[in-house]
């Protein structure tokens, strides 16, 4: 069984946070849940929990809406046509763009950790 993540934890992981008060914007996920029927969190004690498959779908939706500037109806159409059918080999496809963004973020995080280790040594690294 895959690990379930609560709505607040997922919102933080997706960096959907109010810049002023640093509170997670859970309402965005609840709104997307209404708009995209493909998002079906498990409800336990009336709280929302998401598994890894749901998280990937939500990450894709966020990427298409926020990074690619698509509309909600455009994302719905794309998801309805099944994003997995997009050409994996096409360097300019939306799916390739999604994976490039993930790779870029992870590479940047690794580089920051390496620089932190170089600067402060092993003791102060997180």
Instruction: Note the pLDDT tens digit of each residue in 111-120.
Output: 888 888 888 8
Measured CA angle at 109 (ends 104, 111), to 5 deg = 95
Q: What is the pLDDT of residues 12-60, one digit of tens each?
A: 999 999 889 989 999 999 999 999 988 999 999 999 999 998 998 899 8
Q: What is the pTM of this model?
A: 0.65
| pLDDT reading at 9 higher than 90 | yes
Q: What is the pLDDT of residues 52-94, one digit of tens each?
A: 989 988 998 998 898 888 899 988 888 777 655 545 455 446 6
**pLDDT (0 to 100) of residue 104:** 83
**pLDDT (0 to 100) of residue 31:** 95
Strand partners, 49: 6, 42
Among 25, 20, 13, 92, smallest CA distance to 56 is for 13
**pLDDT (0 to 100) of residue 95:** 66
**pLDDT (0 to 100) of residue 11:** 93
Is residue 24 classed as helix, strand or coil in its secondary structure?
strand
């Amino acid at each position: 069984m895959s690990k379930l993540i609560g709505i607040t934890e997922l919102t933080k992981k997706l960096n959907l946070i109010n810049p002023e008060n640093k509170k997670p914007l859970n309402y965005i996920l609840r709104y997307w849940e209404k708009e995209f029927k493909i998002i079906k969190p498990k409800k336990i004690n009336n709280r929302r929990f998401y598994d890894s498959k749901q998280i990937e779908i939500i990450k894709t939706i966020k990427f298409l809406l926020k990074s690619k500037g698509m509309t909600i109806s455009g994302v719905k159409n794309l998801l309805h046509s099944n994003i997995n059918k997009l050409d994996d080999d096409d360097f300019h496809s939306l799916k390739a763009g999604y994976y490039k963004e993930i790779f870029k973020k992870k590479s940047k995080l690794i580089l920051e950790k390496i620089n932190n280790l170089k600067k402060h040594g092993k003791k102060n690294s997180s």
